[in-house]
Amino acid sequence: MRRERAASLAFCALFVVIAILSVAKVTYRAAHGTGDHFAYFRAAQRLMAGQDPYALTGDTYVYLYPPVWALLVWPLTVAGPVAFGVAWAVALGASWLAARRLVRRLVPGMEGWAAVVPDLWLARFLLSAWSSGQVTLPLSVVVLGGLALLVDGNVAGAALIGLASAIKVYPLLLAPVVWRLGGRRALGVMAAVATAVTLAPVAVVGGARFVALVRDGFLGIGLQNIESQRFWSGRCAPLPAAWHLAGGGLSPVLSALEAAWALGAMAVVAALYPGRDERLPLWMGFGVLSMLIATPMLGENYLAMMLLPVAALVAAGRGAALAVAAVLLNVHSPLVVGRAWCDPLERLGLSAIALTGLWLAMARELAPPLPKVAPAWQPAMAGVLLLACAAHAQPAYPAFERHTYTDATGVEHVFLLQRAPRGAAPAGLFIYCHGAGGFEEQGMSPEGYAGSFARLRTLLAQRGWAYACPRLPDFDSLLPELEKYFGKIRIVLSGASAGGRRAYREALVRPGRYAGVILLCPAIEADPAPVSLPAWISGGEVDRLTVGARALAANTKAAGVRCKLTVIPEGNHDAPLKQADWRAAMDYVLRK
């Protein structure tokens, strides 16, 4: 009784502390227009006003969810962002309490201090939801409620899981469990509800606009984030780690292999899971971890899928080892220990080792005891994972090199160079000129400008191009220097802000040397001369420098030269660089 009382008091203290700090933070963020929950607020208002909910303005967070989520939260936005933030905080607190009750219902034996482990696991989602606005916790309540109904034989549980699947993809991983618990009828209900809810915005925005929002907004933003590696953790996934160790990069081949593995893991779980079995949480964990071994996506969503398996292992008496594994699994997120600690620990492969340990623990609970030789090969396996994940932690593009060249007056200049992958001859050369607020490192920064340059570097590596970032370039001397490395090669010239002005002026001087020019928020005069090569120009609607960008595009088109102008609604000076669609820009200027 004393232990239960102590555990209850610890939970109450934790809840009160997080509530005070996080409600204050969510209110502050809402008032200042930051956080994922403000992205929901803004997206809902823009959707109902006939505008683009996926447009990024200023420094606000980008909206990453399908259109239906903006439609569902729209009624909460009527009273303004601060009231929306407070309502969001209250809903999340209620979600945490509901999730705790559902976990105890689905996993018998959660008593005393053992019950604190899933509480802490839920606190992870509560803290991130209150501070940033993640929707994982409310969806976890919907999913847990659906599972509880299915265990009781109520097919309405499949409808709840279908509802969650329309908002986020990860509940779809429960399809084998839904099938084994409720049969084909439950699976059909889940699919029907997911489809109907997904298409609900059609009644408000119309079919054509809905298709455009999904294609250009939801899927387009997702692809940009994958290219920028914001969703590319991978340090927890042994099989992709082995792929990188063998020299492979982020490619369609790897994506296809991961998809095949995920489908295969789901099929195996569906075939093995015996249906209404008291070990349902362990089967869920075994299936999810079997997919995570191949798919490098250890984010909040997949940690949410591990909530019930974690509780089941604790209830089975695996608490000590599991607590260590849970900490290691959470290490992937800077929210837990901060990025300064997070990145080195990930590079050591600790998340991958923890994931593999959890997978083995669940396999051991579900299958006969492993052979006695297991203690001998487990350390060896951990060592291989350590090396593989350390290699896999490297980005999906080559490291850059620092070089110098001398201009006609004897002054030395610096440029950074990313070569084509694996020493191959490059298919082309991309030159980026930095703005006044940076140096040559700006164009190589993986985190800067919402991962824009990580997307660019990944794209160029995929296409086998080289990439150069010069500091205050002297093109009369830089081009001959680059020819020493690559010879006469096609070049795409680009620049942002003051760098866009340099690129523009160079395109006027040597138009025949470049295949095209990409100018982002260029700091050029109000009535510029047209360029005579294919051009992609982008500016922000509220950026005063966009006047010159509009004039340049109009003058270039009037001269009969192919030119595309993109003006980002409500975008400031940084918006074109943050939202740069490098793939579309390159395809446009290189089009024959």
| Distances 239 to 22, 223, 355, 472 between C-alpha atoms, Å | 37, 22, 12, 43
Q: Give the closest residue to 344 by CA, choosing from 332, 352, 358.
A: 332
CA 477 to chain centre: 40
The answer to whether the beta carbons of residues 128 and 134 sit under 8 Å apart is yes
What does the pLDDT read at residue 517? 96
The answer to whether the beta carbons of residues 332 and 232 sit under 8 Å apart is no
What does the pLDDT read at residue 336? 44
Angle at 423 between CA 420 and CA 426, to 5 degrees: 40
Write the DSSP string, 176-227.
HHHHHHHHHHHHHHHHHHHHHHHTTTHHHH-HHHHHHIIIIIIIHHHHHHHH
Domain end position, chosen among 395, 422, 445: 395
- 238 lies in the same domain as 313: yes
Domain end position, chosen among 228, 247, 279: 228
The answer to whether the beta carbons of residues 350 and 233 sit under 8 Å apart is no
What does the pLDDT read at residue 552? 93
- 458 lies in the same domain as 343: no
What does the pLDDT read at residue 256? 61
What does the pLDDT read at residue 286? 74
Q: What is the pLDDT along the chain (592 residues), one digit of tens a residue?
A: 566 566 667 666 766 776 666 666 666 665 555 666 777 888 888 888 888 887 755 445 567 788 998 898 888 888 887 788 778 777 877 888 888 888 888 887 766 666 666 766 676 666 555 555 567 788 888 988 998 999 888 999 999 999 999 988 778 878 888 888 888 899 999 999 999 999 999 998 888 889 888 887 777 666 655 554 444 444 555 555 555 445 444 444 555 656 666 667 767 666 776 766 667 777 777 777 777 666 655 555 666 777 777 777 777 666 555 555 555 455 444 444 444 555 555 555 566 666 677 777 777 777 654 444 444 444 444 444 444 444 444 456 778 888 999 988 888 899 999 998 877 789 999 999 988 767 788 888 876 777 788 888 888 988 889 999 998 889 999 999 999 999 889 999 999 988 999 999 999 999 999 999 999 989 888 788 999 999 999 998 888 878 889 999 999 999 999 999 988 877 888 888 888 889 889 999 998 7
Domain residues for the domain of 517 are: 401-590
Q: How far apart are CA 141 and CA 198, in angstroms?
A: 19
Dihedral angle at the C-alpha atoms of 364, 367, 371, 375, nearest 10 degrees?
-10
- 354 lies in the same domain as 425: no
Whole-structure pTM value:
0.66
- 289 lies in the same domain as 410: no
Q: Give the closest residue to 397 by CA, choosing from 350, 348, 443, 434.
A: 443
Domain end position, chosen among 228, 261, 295: 228
Sign of the Cα pseudo-torsion (266, 269, 273, 277, in order): negative
Alpha helices in 246-279 (DSSP H): 252-272
- 341 lies in the same domain as 463: no
Q: Give the closest residue to 278 by CA, choosing from 151, 159, 364.
A: 151
Residue 561 carries which DSSP code?
Answer: -
**What's the number of domains the chain is made of?**
3
What does the pLDDT read at residue 142? 92
- 134 lies in the same domain as 259: no
Q: Return the number of other C-beta atoms located less than 10 Å from residue 377's C-beta.
A: 11
- 177 lies in the same domain as 209: yes
- 405 lies in the same domain as 419: yes
- 418 lies in the same domain as 352: no
Side-by-side strand order, sheet with 429-433:
401-406, 412-418, 466-470, 429-433, 491-496, 516-520, 535-540, 563-568
What does the pLDDT read at residue 389? 42
Q: How far apart are CA 350 and CA 330, in angstroms?
A: 10
- 369 lies in the same domain as 518: no
- 311 lies in the same domain as 267: yes
- 142 lies in the same domain as 32: yes
Find the farthest-apart pair of alpha carbons in the chain and give their distance in angstroms, rounded.
85
CATH number, domain of 408, equals: 3.40.50.1820
What does the pLDDT read at residue 334? 42
What does the pLDDT read at residue 495? 93
